[in-house]
Amino acid sequence: MRKLLRVFCVTMTLVLMLGTLSGCGSSQTGGSTQNTEKKKIGLVVSTQDNPFFVTLKDGAQKKADELGYQLTVADSQNDASKERSNVEDLVQQGIAVLIINPTDSDAVANSIKVANDKKVPVITVDRAANGGDVVCHIASDNVAGGKMAAEFILEQLGGKGNIVELQGIPGASATNDRGKGFHSAVDGKEGVKVVASQTAQFDRQKGLDVMQNIIQANPDFDAVFSHNDEMALGALQALKTANKKVLIVGFDGTDDAQKAIQSGEMAATVAQQPDLMGSLAVENAVKIIKGEKVEKQIPVDLKLIKK
């Protein structure tokens, strides 16, 4: 009986040990799967001082939360060197995909190459890159938007008049494309003249400053086309101070611009959908992570908002 009891005890001990080891193995496997599933996505935004890009970031964050992915956001503050530093930091953190809204279409190539060297896929959003390997680009048709703004201005002016153009950041694809679309509609038109075309860096305060200088140098104009709403709102302030009423058309469709349109201070804005851009960027980043195919170019619809 004693011998049988000893055998029984040894057997039960072995069973318990095997159960414990089996449990440990299951725990490790579960942790490994969890780590594999929890992927990081990096988002580098040109600036968070512009409401348009804040909305873009919010759209990306909402989609990342919805899909269960971690989104890390970095602000380049419109500085190409900071942009590169942001990309280097995110790559070091082990992101699976980089989403980048370039400060400058040429300069961003250096940042993209940092990700390329580490085999991190890159998605550009709103502004394109003129270098580096980009898997997917998500943006509005800025050429069509610039033309849409010009045609609205010409219609409101009866086909004739002097127009001021406020340009965005030199070298940014949005600046180049919106200007290209605008000039395709106004250049060579009889009775139409672009009397001033200056950069205000997509910035409200600079829009105010540049418009003040234009009013001083050449006050004879009937309309303003601004490459974004922030510059348009700055120009509006300068025009109000000078007690000068002209047609103002912006670009982006921000909340402040839409309020100015409803109050009659701005005529229109070409509205983008920055929240949708951010959302689509994350959605396609997740597809890339899962090994699914994504489109090289993904357009986002535009619409003219007027009173």
Q: Would strands 136-140 and 297-300 be described as parallel, antiparallel, or unpaired?
A: parallel
The length of the chain, given as a count of residues: 307
The pLDDT value recorded for residue 42 is 98
The residues pairing with 70 across neighbouring beta strands, listed in sequence order, are 40
The pLDDT value recorded for residue 6 is 54
Q: How far apart are CA 233 and CA 254, in angstroms?
A: 10
**Among positive and negative, which fits the CA dihedral 125, 128, 133, 134?**
positive
Which structure tokens are listed for 221?
Answer: 């104009």
The pLDDT value recorded for residue 12 is 53
Q: Which amino acid is at 131?
A: G
Domains of the chain listed by start with CATH number: 38-139+274-299 (3.40.50.2300), 142-271 (3.40.50.2300)
Tens of pLDDT, residue by residue over 173-221, are 999 999 999 999 999 999 999 999 999 999 999 999 999 999 999 999 9
The pLDDT value recorded for residue 38 is 54
Low-confidence ranges of the chain (pLDDT < 70): 1-38
The pLDDT value recorded for residue 22 is 43
- Residue closest to 128 by CA, chosen among 193, 180, 69: 180
The pLDDT value recorded for residue 299 is 93
Is residue 91 within 8 A of residue 114, CB to CB? The reply is yes
The pLDDT value recorded for residue 15 is 44
Q: How far apart are CA 78 and CA 83, in angstroms?
A: 8
